[in-house]
Amino acid sequence: MAKKKGKTRAEFRKKHQGRVRDADLTRQFRQRPEENSIEDAVQAERLSGKGALTRKKTIAGAEREVDDDGGLQVDLKVDQTNLVQGRVLSVHGLQSKVLGQDDNLYACSTRQVLKSLATDQRGVLVAGDRVWFRIEHRDGVGRMSASQRAGAIRLEGAGENSALGGQSDQIVVADGMIERIEPRHGIICRASRGKQHVIAANVDALLIIASAAEPGIKPVLIDRMLLTAAQCEIEPIIVINKVDLVDFASLQALVGVYASLGYRVLPTSAETGQNLEYLRAFLKQRQTALAGQSGVGKSSLLNAIEPGLGLAVSHVSAENQKGRHTTTASRLIPLSDGGAVFDTPGIRQFQLWDIEASEVAGLMPDLRPYVSHCRYPNCLHLAEDDCAVKNAVADARIDARRYDAYCHLLEDDLVA
């Protein structure tokens, strides 16, 4: 990761910048023609350079870090003498739940300078962030009612068997102010309305949860998540849940394709307990994110693996075979056997972020060996002549379904 030391330029918040141009010049000209003339009219406006539309402020003491994927992180220098280190468990509006290094739970706000930094992300903080925060009120318990405190504890799954500190009365909820966010690694993200939607940060492994039925498997969604895991160098495992509802022989062809590419595919059932012991052993000492569409059983698997969590679950709609969003925000849940898991909201669309069309084939292990043998170095393997990838598909060296998924991905999202 390359570092550029010095000062950081950030955008002004909208409330600090007034209107930069009149709303309707034509209406004003017609209403007051005696006050206006062609000679006084503005012939052109400057929209670039150091004009009103490019005003920025300087943040001293901030170190810019540009990672290999082109993402920008700002390392804000702060005095850590009176700060406490912690991990963000969840983010709810302007408040974040942070588990401090003293095993206490804090309700923290975010320093204004962090919220005002220019960023391509939808939010500054995300579940899994490692932060430094200042405790503003050690008597924070007294500032919350008993019902509010109990709700905050239940929100993070802090029951009797929780790894947040044992019994709920041992957890202290206090006020804090987040002063610094540590640089991230292992980011699970997607594109959302032109911005980077970070689902979880500092992730070691990704469990891509699909269901054999109710709802059915969406291979396209699995392929997109595998690309994101490859780009961020995160270990992926494909988990096919609810295998008790179908004859597993009907899934052998699909499972065989992914297994032949070196991916681990794990059939599970939260109802019968199939392979839950293996899954529990895998989660130990890892920071693992669970991702998949709504209704595949992510929360049900976590409830079966970690008794006492009591995460909300719901049934799949009988009309459209789509799940309901019972998990509304990403949450980091520490496990009693060590490690932690991210319970994430259901995903129906997973648009890739910061992956160019020319990079997709190199991130797919079955297409990668043939990319360098194409006639053209910038070949996208769609309609070009003498394409080694298309020749491999014709010779059945590349699975036709995987190539179709590659073509749909480029044509739908990445090729203008």
Binding residues for GTP: 241-244, 292-300
**Of 138, 195, 198, 200, which Cα lies nearest the Cα of 172?**
138
Separation of alpha carbons 399 and 402, rounded Å? 5
Q: Which residues contact 278 (CB under 8 A, 6 or more apart)?
A: 266
3-state secondary structure of 45: coil
Binding site per annotation, positions for Zn(2+)? 374, 379, 381, 387
The gap between the terminal CA atoms of the chain, to the nearest Å, is 30
237-253 per-residue burial string, b: 16 or more CB within 10 A, e: under 16: bbbbbbbbebeeeebee
Angstrom CA distances, 54 to 17, 285, 358, stand at: 10, 47, 32
3-state helix, strand, coil in the chain (%, to 5): 30, 25, 45
Separation of alpha carbons 153 and 172, rounded Å? 10
Q: What is the dihedral of CA 368, 265, 399, 190, to 10 degrees?
A: -60
Binding site per annotation, positions? 241-244, 292-300, 374, 379, 381, 387
Separation of alpha carbons 27 and 32, rounded Å? 9
